[in-house]
């Protein structure tokens, strides 16, 4: 696992977003390929993930390829919005967490985004690329 010089989470704030509802924003310039924050939450099974999505409309669940991580009770990461041109990637960390890593420099005041990576998101995405396709 790659070691990062700094965790930039203290520079991340929740604010109103032009993309959807609330989003997370950088209050400092963050260099590319840096740890923006650690994605942590309750580790749940696939069956429990499906139940929470269907019964509770919980859309704050990440999957690391093996485990589901429910971030519904977090202060920040649950507000990350989708972009087809994201400035962050989700990178494996361990069974209970993931790393949110900047894929390029993020300027102070810029919304922090990721590509959700599931087909249905592209049907409702309002970005220029999706509107044109």
Q: Write down the pLDDT at residue 5.
A: 74
Alpha-carbon radius of gyration of the chain: 15
pLDDT exceeds 60 at position 122: no
Three-point CA angle 34, 118, 65, nearest 5°: 65
Across 5-9, 12-16, 49-53, 92-96, the highest mean pLDDT is recorded for 12-16
CATH superfamily of 9-36+75-132: SET domain (2.170.270.10)
For the chain, the structural domain boundaries read: 9-36+75-132
Q: Among 16, 130, 11, 30, which residue's Cα sits nearest to residue 79?
A: 16
What's the predicted TM-score (pTM) here?
Answer: 0.86
């Amino acid at each position: 696992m790659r070691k990062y010089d700094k965790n930039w989470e203290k520079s991340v704030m929740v604010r109103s977003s032009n993309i959807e509802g609330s989003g997370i924003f950088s209050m400092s310039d963050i260099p590319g390929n840096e740890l923006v924050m650690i994605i942590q939450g309750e580790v749940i099974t696939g069956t429990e993930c499906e139940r929470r999505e269907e019964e509770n409309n919980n859309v704050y669940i990440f999957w690391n390829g093996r485990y589901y991580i429910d971030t519904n009770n977090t202060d920040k990461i649950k507000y990350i919005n989708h972009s087809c041109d994201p400035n962050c990637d989700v990178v494996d960390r361990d069974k209970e967490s993931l790393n949110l890593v900047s894929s390029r420099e993020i300027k102070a005041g810029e919304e922090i985004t990721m590509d959700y990576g599931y087909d249905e998101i592209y049907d409702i995405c309002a970005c220029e690329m999706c509107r044109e396709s």
